[in-house]
Structure formats: C-alpha cells, structure tokens
Amino acid sequence: MQGCLFEGLLHPGADAQELTSNGHPTFRVSGVTSRLIDLDKVGMTYQAASSPVEALAGISMSVGAGEFVSLVGPSGCGKSTLLRIVAGLRPATAGTISVAGRRVTKPIDDIGMVFQAPILLKWRTILENVLLPAELAGKDAGALRGRALELLEMAELHGFADKLPRELSGGMQQRASLCRALLLDPPLLLMDEPFGALDAMTRDDLALELLRIWGELDLAREARKTVLFVTHSLPEAVFLSDRVVVMSPRPGRIAADLRIDLPRPRTVELRATEAFGRLNLEIFRTLTGRTVGATSS
C-alpha cells in the first residue's frame, strides 16, 4: 500500500543491506567519491496503450559525489522519467544505471526524492506527512519530531504542522514535500521541479536554503550531499549548480553538459554579473537553437 502510494518514496528494507556498509550509507564509502551516479546508454520506451513512446535515448552521464547537477529541457523530454530511473522506481528499457558503484535494479534506499507533484497523504497532518519517512524506515518518529518542526519552520510552514494537506495551497504542499525529503538528511537528493509552484521570492529564498542544506557554506566537497535537480528555470539552474545538463526534445538525449564555474558561496548579487548572464544565454541558445540577437525562433 505504502509503496503504491509513494512509488517508493522510501522502501522499508529495500536494498538497505546492499546500500549500507556497517550502518553507513555506501554513498560515503571510499571508492565511489568520483562518480556517485553513473548512467550508460540509458534508454526508456513506455509501452503505452496506443503506441510505444520513446522517452529517453542514449543517456550517458555521471554525477560525482558532492556535486549539484541540474537537468533542463523541454516539457516531455524525459526529465522526470530519468529521475525515476535513477531512483530505481522504474526500470530503464536500455542501458545500465549505477549508484554508489552498484547496479540499480530496485528502488534504492537512503535518498530524498521530491516529486513533481507533492503527493501528500490527505488524511495525515502536515507534520505526520513530514515524519512519514521515519516511520517507513522503522525509525523513532517521535525523536525526529523536533527536526520535522525545524524543517517546517525553514519552509515557513510552522503554523501549519497540524493542518491537513487540503488546507494548504499547492506551493505550501510542495514545501511540505521538500521537508519530508530532507527529514532523514539523505546523502543523495533527487528533486523534480521542487520549487515549480512557488512565488519568485519564496523560490529564491528556498534556493539559498537548499544550498545551505547541500553543504555549500561549511562542508568540503566530498562531505556535501549529491543533488540531481530538475527545473524549467535557467537562472535557477545556473545559480544552484556545478553543472547544467541540457536535454533535447523527446526522445531526450544530452544536448550539452555545461560546467558552471561561478564562485561559491553563491550570492544574490551574482545574478547581476555578466558571467551569470552569459551562462544563462549559452544554455538558452543550446536549448532553443537560437542565435544571439534573434528575437523569434
């Protein structure tokens, strides 16, 4: 039931033994620091009722441990599909996927996933929803209550802990689902447009908060979380990321993989710099095929 509702938001017992070593997540064990996620010629064809849909073709890329990588691309190019494949929620129909040096054949544990839609349990309060990963993982939810409330405060939802999801706006529900993904402090975050339904100011604030949670301010690269982040906002992708991977229209392929060599920690002022603007333009051009100065396609 839970697995069906959450499509593997957390899978009690699933691969827990394989993905942990002496109680520590393998994401942090030596030998996997350079390439945490490895995709080799990954393809995905959905067997839809009418005709097959080729969503992804020939996706080969890696994400290093501690890296922040964004995926951008047109609607329907397979970004959500790719995140689900990496999480092991859906098997690819071609190629191989490894996380922390192990082939992904089942839903993986020890990740935080933010889905494109919030997927909150409608009969549970917001706090109970945020605490759900603890219950699914067999942890003491009571002990994590303080952490859950802290996260809700960070997301400016402290007054809503005891409300039901239907009493919150779409953006508030999305923030609650972000808190849920962060509850167990997972070393790998897969985030599908987590800020999609938010107003611009909240979005910018949460982007900075996410960088803090990622470990930008105080952690060495190897101790940071690893983030694979989907967004339709190019400035957001540039602001957050070490790399931006641009996908082509369906079937999604990798059109470009651009390194964002902007200084960290990222600041609001950075957005006004020429370097920031140039990177945005470069990604925009890759995405649309437009040349500089063109005003229409």
Q: Which residues bind ligand ATP (CB under 6 A)?
A: 46, 48, 53, 55, 73, 75-81, 116, 250
CB of 220 to ligand ATP, least distance (A): 33
- Compare residues 82 and 184 and give the one whose CB is closer to ligand ATP: 82
End-to-end Cα spacing for the chain: 47
Residue 53: name its binding partner from ligand ATP, Mg ion, none (Cβ under 5 to 8 Å by kind). Answer: ligand ATP
* Contact present, 191 and 153 (Cβ < 8 Å): no
- Compare residues 14 and 117 and give the one whose CB is closer to ligand ATP: 117
138: buried, middle or exposed (CB in 10 Å: 19+, 13-18, 0-12)?
Answer: exposed
CB of 109 to ligand ATP, least distance (A): 23
- Compare residues 48 and 201 and give the one whose CB is closer to ligand ATP: 48
Phi, psi of 36 (to 5 degrees): -80, -45
Task: For residue 128, give the 3-state DSSP assignment.
Answer: helix
CB of 246 to ligand ATP, least distance (A): 12
Residue 241 sits in the site that holds Mg ion (CB under 5 A)? no
* Contact present, 226 and 36 (Cβ < 8 Å): yes
Residue 248: name its binding partner from ligand ATP, Mg ion, none (Cβ under 5 to 8 Å by kind). Answer: none
Residue 174: name its binding partner from ligand ATP, Mg ion, none (Cβ under 5 to 8 Å by kind). Answer: none
- Compare residues 77 and 137 and give the one whose CB is closer to Mg ion: 77
- Compare residues 46 and 284 and give the one whose CB is closer to ligand ATP: 46
Phi, psi of 70 (to 5 degrees): -105, 145
Of the candidates 233, 194, 235, 187, which has an alpha carbon nearest to the alpha carbon of residue 214? Answer: 187
CB of 50 to Mg ion, least distance (A): 21
Residue 231 sits in the site that holds Mg ion (CB under 5 A)? no
CB of 21 to ligand ATP, least distance (A): 32
Instruction: Name 243's Cβ contacts closer than 8 Å, sequence gap at least 6.
Output: 67, 68, 69, 70, 257, 258, 259, 260
CB of 192 to Mg ion, least distance (A): 6
- Compare residues 76 and 215 and give the one whose CB is closer to ligand ATP: 76
Residue 233 sits in the site that holds Mg ion (CB under 5 A)? no
Pairing of strands 24-25, 20-21: antiparallel
CB of 80 to Mg ion, least distance (A): 3
Pairing of strands 243-247, 254-259: antiparallel
Copy the structure tokens of residue 145. 């209550």
CB of 193 to ligand ATP, least distance (A): 7
Distance (Å, whole) CA 51 – CA 66: 40
- E strands, 122-221, are 188-192
Phi, psi of 21 (to 5 degrees): -135, 115
- Compare residues 80 and 129 and give the one whose CB is closer to ligand ATP: 80
Phi, psi of 90 (to 5 degrees): -145, 135
Residue 80 sits in the site that holds Mg ion (CB under 5 A)? yes
Binding pattern for the stretch 108-127 against Mg ion, x by CB under 5 A and - elsewhere: --------x-----------
- Compare residues 45 and 116 and give the one whose CB is closer to Mg ion: 116
Which residues contact Mg ion by CB under 5 A?
A: 80, 116
